Structure 1
Amino acid sequence: MPMRSIIEPPPAHAIARFSDEFGQRFLLTVDTEEEFDWNKPLTRDAYDLHHLVHLGRFQQFCEEEQVAPVYLIDWPVANSPLAEEILRPAVKRKKAEIGIQLHPWVNPPFEEEVNQLNSFAGNLSRSLEHSKFHLLRNMIQDRFEIAPVMYRAGRYGAGPDTAKMLQKDGIAIDSSVRARFNYNAQGGPNYQSHPLCPYWLDDTHQLLELPLTTSFFGLLRKQADSIYPMLRRFPALRGILSRLGLIERIPLTPEGVSIEEAIRGIDIALDDGLPMLVFSFHSPSLAPGHTPYVRDDKDLDQLYAWFRHIFAYLKQRKVRPASIRSVMDAVIR
C-alpha cells in the first residue's frame, strides 16, 4: 500500500496499538535549533548558537529526573562542535537520543527563495525537500555515529511527499503533526482534524506518526473539534471561552503554558486513554532572551520548575518516560 500523506488525517484503521506492558508513557522532545528573532523575516545567516552551552545543564537535569530527552537537531546545531561535545556522550550512555529537525532556510542546498511559504519544508519541490533532508541526516549520522530514526519538520511543515521521503531514508517515526493546530494562514499545513493518538502512515506499518499532545479542556471540550476551528476569525473569543471554563486548548509544553494548565491537559489525555504524551519545547528557551517564553533568569527558573513539577505529577500518575527504542519495541505491527 502507498504511504499516506502526513498532512491528511488518517483512516480509523491506521490507529496504532501497543503491548499491554507499555502502559501509558511520555516522550520529551526538544526542537534543538538556532536562535533567531521570531518577530523578523527569516534569513539564511541572521542566527546564533549562544544557548547551546546551556544544553549541558538541561541534560544533567533530565538525567537526575531519569528522563532521556530526544534532541531533534537541525543543520546549524548538527554542525556545532559544542553541541556534539555536549550531546554525544549522553547519547552513548543512552541518556539521550538524537533525531532530525529540518529548518529549510538554513539547510543546504540553498536553491529556494527565503520566505514564509518556503519555511515549511513540505512546500518545497519533492527533490529539494529530499536533498535538504538527506544532507542533514548524513551530517547527523557522521557527527554522532548513529542512524537517526525520528523526524520533525521545522514549523511542523510536513508536506504531501514528506512521508515517502522519510520511508525512503529509513525513518521509523515522524512527529511533525501538531494536532489541533492550523497553520494554513501562514502557508503551512492544517492539523486541526488529526488525532492525538499514534497512528501508522502506511498499511505495512513502517512509519509511525507520534503527534504532539494538545488537549481540549472545559465544559464544551467534547464539541471543541467543531467549535475551535471557527474561532480563528475571532481570536479574542478564545481567551473569553477559556476564562469562562468552556474551551481551553492546552499543548504540553512549558512555553506559554502554566503548570496548572499542563496538569489539566495531562489529566484529560490520560483519562481519555491516550497511550503516549509527547512534550516539546525549543532549545533556545534554555537561556534568557532568545524566545518570548524565557526573557530573564526568573523565567528560566520557572521553566525548570515546570519540568520538575510535571515529571513528579507524571510519576504520581504512573506514567513512565519513553524512548524512541521503547516505542518501536512496544508498538504492535
Structure 2
Amino acid sequence: MPAPNLLQPPGKQAYAQFRPDFGQRFIVTVDTEEEFDWSAPLDRDAHSVVTIPALRKFQQFCESFGVIPSYLIDWPVADCLHAPDAIGDAVSAGRAEVGVQLHPWVSPPFAEDVNEYNSYAGNLPFELEREKLLKLQNRIESAFGVPPRSYRAGRYGLGPRTAEILMECGITVDTSVRARFDYSGTGGPNYREHPLRPYWADAEHRLLELPLTTVYWGPLRQMGNVIYPHLWRAPTMRGVLARAGLLERIPLTPEGITTEEALRGVDIAIDEGLPVLVFSFHSPSLAAGHTPYVRSKADLDALYDWWRTLFAHLAKRGIRSTSVDEIVNSVQG
C-alpha cells in the first residue's frame, strides 16, 4: 500500500463522512507565530514575539461568542514564557486548542540554509523535517501540558512524506492544504486541484486533512480553477474580474478580504454543503504594525469588527463553532 502523500489531490472516495448531527460547522485557526518583516528576506534572528499578550484579548473575544480557537504554534511562540500566560488557562479548560505550525527557518535543529525553497518544510530532507517537527511538538506539549493534535506547515509547505511524520507523531488532523492556491512558482506546493471538503490522507483513516476554505464567487466561479491559473500573467485582470462581479477568489480570512467579500464566501461555502468552514489568520495581526493587514489601531478595530460581523452571520445561518477535537470525534469510519 503506497504511503500517504498530501501533495496529491484525493479522489471523492477519500472524503470524510460526518455524523448526521454534526451538520455544518466552522473553525477558527490562528497561525500563532513570531513577528518579522514580511517584505524582507527570511532571517533566523530578525524576529520578535511582542504580540503574544494580544492573544489573551482575542481569546476572551472568542469566548464571548462561544468560539473555540485553534492556535497553531511555532517555535518562537512555544519557547516564549508569555504564551502559556496568555492562553494556557483557556487551553487547559478546553476553551482553546493548540496545534503545531512549523516555520523551519526558526525551528531547531538549524541544519539547512535559510532561503525561500527551504522555508517550505516539506522540501527539507525527510530526517530534518521529522526532527524539527518532533522537537516543536514536544516543546508545545511541555509549554501547555497537552499534546497537540493538529498541524499546519508554515507557508502551507507540505512535502511528499510529511503525512508519514504526522502519523508517527500522533497528529490526527492536518490543515496545511490551501485549496485554490498554487505556490509552485516559489518552490512550494500546488493545491489548485485539492478539494475543500475534509478527506482522509490514508487508507486506515488515521490522518484527516482539513483544507482551508477558499471559494470562487461570481458567474464564472464554476470555471475558477481554469481561469485563475492564467491570471498570474495579467494580475490586474483579477481586479477587473472582481470589480465587474464576474469572478473573485475569496479565502475565509480577515487579512486582505473585506467583510462583504467574506460574507459572500461564507454563503457560497454553506450553500455548497461544506461540512466545515475553516477560517485562518496570523496572530501578529492582533496588534498594530506587524503585518501588512493591520497597520493602525483603526485597522485592528476593523479586524475585530470583521470577526464580530462574521460570527453574527454564521449564527444567523445556523452554523456553529467546532474544534479539532470535536471534528475528530464526529467523523465516521
TM range (shorter): over 0.9
2:14 aligned partner: 14
1:127 aligned partner: 127
Give the 3-state SS of the residue equivalent to 2:148 in structure 1.
Answer: coil
Task: Supply the distance in 2 between the matched residues of 1:230 and 1:15 (Cα, whole angstroms).
Answer: 28
Task: Supply the distance in 2 between the matched residues of 1:131 and 1:241 (Cα, whole angstroms).
Answer: 45
CA-CA distance at 1:176 after TM superposition: 0.3
Q: Write out per-residue CA displacement over residues 90-116 of structure 1, whole angstroms, 9 at most, x where no aligned residue.
A: 011111000000000000000000000
CA-CA distance at 1:65 after TM superposition: 1.1
What amino acid is aligned across from residue 215 of structure 2 in structure 1?
S
Structure 1 residues 308-327: aligned runs within 5 Å = 308-327=308-327
Task: Supply the distance in 1 between the matched residues of 2:145 and 2:42 (Cα, whole angstroms).
Answer: 31
Does residue 185 of the first structure (1) align with residue 185 of the second (2)? yes
1:214 aligned partner: 214
User: Larger deviation: 312-321 or 79-88?
Assistant: 79-88
Q: Write out per-residue CA displacement over residues 160-179 of structure 1, whole angstroms, 9 at most, x where no aligned residue.
A: 01011101111100000000
1:227 aligned partner: 227
Give the 3-state SS of the residue equivalent to 2:52 in structure 1.
Answer: helix
1:201 aligned partner: 201
Does residue 42 of the first structure (1) align with residue 8 of the second (2)? no
Task: Supply the distance in 1 between the matched residues of 2:233 and 2:195 (Cα, whole angstroms).
Answer: 23
Task: Supply the distance in 2 between the matched residues of 1:320 and 1:64 (Cα, whole angstroms).
Answer: 14
Structure 1 residues 85-164: aligned runs within 5 Å = 85-164=85-164
1:75 aligned partner: 75
Task: Supply the distance in 1 between the matched residues of 2:196 and 2:142 (Cα, whole angstroms).
Answer: 33
Task: Supply the distance in 2 between the matched residues of 1:3 and 1:254 (Cα, whole angstroms).
Answer: 36
Q: Write out per-residue CA displacement over residues 68-93 of structure 1, whole angstroms, 9 at most, x where no aligned residue.
A: 10000000000111001111100111
CA-CA distance at 1:264 after TM superposition: 0.3
1:268 aligned partner: 268
1:301 aligned partner: 301
Task: Supply the distance in 2 between the matched residues of 1:324 and 1:310 (Cα, whole angstroms).
Answer: 20
Task: Supply the distance in 2 between the matched residues of 1:50 and 1:223 (Cα, whole angstroms).
Answer: 43
CA-CA distance at 1:6 after TM superposition: 1.0
What amino acid is aligned across from residue 270 of structure 2 in structure 1?
L
Count of matched residue positions in the alignment of Structure 1 and Structure 2: 333
CA-CA distance at 1:228 after TM superposition: 1.2
Coordinate RMSD, CA, aligned: 0.7
Q: Write out per-residue CA displacement over residues 230-281 of structure 1, whole angstroms, 9 at most, x where no aligned residue.
A: 1122211111111111110000000010111000000111101110000000
Instruction: Report if aligned partners of 1:3, 1:201 keep a CA contact under 8 Å in 2.
Output: no
User: Larger deviation: 67-76 or 238-247?
Assistant: 238-247
Identity %: 56
CA-CA distance at 1:185 after TM superposition: 1.1
What amino acid is aligned across from residue 236 of structure 2 in structure 1?
A
Q: Write out per-residue CA displacement over residues 273-332 of structure 1, whole angstroms, 9 at most, x where no aligned residue.
A: 110000000000000000000000000000000000000000000000001111011101
Give the 3-state SS of the residue equivalent to 1:51 in structure 2.
Answer: coil
Task: Supply the distance in 2 between the matched residues of 1:312 and 1:3 (Cα, whole angstroms).
Answer: 42
What amino acid is aligned across from residue 213 of structure 1 in structure 2?
T
Gap regions ≥5 residues in structure 1:
none
Q: Write out per-residue CA displacement over residues 160-215 of structure 1, whole angstroms, 9 at most, x where no aligned residue.
A: 01011101111100000000000011111000000000000011111000000001
Give the 3-state SS of the residue equivalent to 2:152 in structure 1.
Answer: strand
Task: Supply the distance in 2 between the matched residues of 1:224 and 1:299 (Cα, whole angstroms).
Answer: 30
Does residue 279 of the first structure (1) align with residue 279 of the second (2)? yes
Q: Write out per-residue CA displacement over residues 25-84 of structure 1, whole angstroms, 9 at most, x where no aligned residue.
A: 000000000000000001111000111111111111111111010000000000111001
CA-CA distance at 1:4 after TM superposition: 2.1
User: Larger deviation: 83-92 or 71-80?
Assistant: 83-92
CA-CA distance at 1:3 after TM superposition: 3.5
What amino acid is aligned across from residue 165 of structure 2 in structure 1?
M
1:33 aligned partner: 33
Give TM-score, length-normalised by structure 1: 0.99
